[in-house]
């Protein structure tokens, strides 16, 4: 028996084969592991493709959730026995597809007077980042997005955000309002003292320049903290 017969789809019982199960019952009938296995296609001598998919889902950074695979890098995928560059690229592309689809759907609900919809729109861009990043959203007189940009990328604990850089970019774009977002790689969006202090400085500078700071939102893991909602603005 060759490697594919032992480790791949042909080495599984008919009722366990993701392809056959999908054809017969539809993709909704597949477990998360089976959906991944349909992409992986082959396993190893020791593990079927479904077993290999289960190993991916149990990785600490994935946490048993399909959307967790978006957090993994090429190196993390290929560190698993049975996942080479081709399979890793396929899995990376699935993660990116899911991220873009989620953002497109969130974009249909995006309103810059609604912190929840702003957080939802940027959540998949930011929550998997291993380091702090800062995104500036710049708005026109109708609170519509003119442009957003990534301003900084910091360490795992802090991002160096310059008030001057923020308003310099806003002035270049002709913005009348801004929303600042940054992430906490720990997953906990609770603001630090520095976060609160920065919000105050930004609001004060914005009043002088005639550019309103509409919100400063901290992104965690599927959670957010809005300075405006919590009374800091």
Spans of all domains in the chain: 3-103, 111-226
Lowest mean pLDDT among 19-28, 80-89, 184-193, 213-222: 19-28
- Residue 73's CB: how many other CB atoms inside 10 A? 12
The whole-number pLDDT of residue 70 equals: 84
Q: Is 1 a residue whose pLDDT tops 60?
A: no
pLDDT digits (tens, 9 = 90+) for 176-211: 999 999 999 999 999 999 999 999 999 999 999 999
- The mean pLDDT value of the chain amounts to 88
Which residues partner with 212 through β-bridges? 177
Q: 177-183 and 145-153 as β-strands: parallel, antiparallel, unpaired?
A: unpaired
Q: Is 12 a residue whose pLDDT tops 60?
A: no
145 vs 160: CA distance, rounded Å: 24
Q: Model confidence at 16, in pLDDT bands (50, 70, 90)?
A: low
Percent share of the chain, pLDDT over 70: 91
Q: What is the mean pLDDT of residues 11-18?
A: 60
CATH architecture of 111-226: 3-Layer(aba) Sandwich (3.40)
Q: Is 55 a residue whose pLDDT tops 60?
A: yes
The DSSP 8-state label assigned to residue 62 in this structure reads: T
């Amino acid at each position: 028996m060759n490697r594919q017969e032992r480790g791949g789809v042909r080495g599984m019982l008919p009722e366990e084969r993701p392809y056959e199960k999908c054809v017969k019952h539809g993709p909704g009938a597949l477990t998360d592991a089976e959906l991944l296995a349909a992409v992986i296609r082959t396993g190893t001598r020791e593990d079927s493709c479904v077993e290999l998919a289960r190993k991916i889902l149990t990785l600490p950074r994935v946490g048993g959730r399909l959307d967790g695979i978006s957090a993994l890098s090429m190196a993390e995928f290929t560190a698993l026995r049975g996942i080479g560059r081709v399979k890793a690229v396929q899995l990376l592309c699935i993660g990116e597809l899911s991220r873009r689809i989620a953002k497109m759907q969130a974009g249909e609900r995006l309103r810059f007077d609604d912190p929840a919809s702003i957080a939802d729109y940027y959540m998949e861009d930011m929550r998997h980042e291993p380091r702090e990043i800062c995104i500036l959203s710049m708005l026109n007189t109708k609170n519509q997005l003119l442009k957003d940009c990534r301003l900084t990328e910091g360490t795992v604990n802090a991002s160096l955000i310059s008030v001057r850089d923020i308003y310099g970019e806003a002035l270049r774009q002709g913005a009348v309002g801004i929303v600042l977002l940054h992430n906490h790689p720990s997953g906990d969006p609770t603001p630090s003292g520095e976060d609160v202090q920065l919000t105050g400085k930004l609001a004060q500078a914005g009043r002088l320049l005639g550019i309103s700071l509409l919100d400063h939102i901290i992104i965690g893991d599927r959670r957010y903290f809005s300075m405006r909602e919590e009374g800091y603005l």
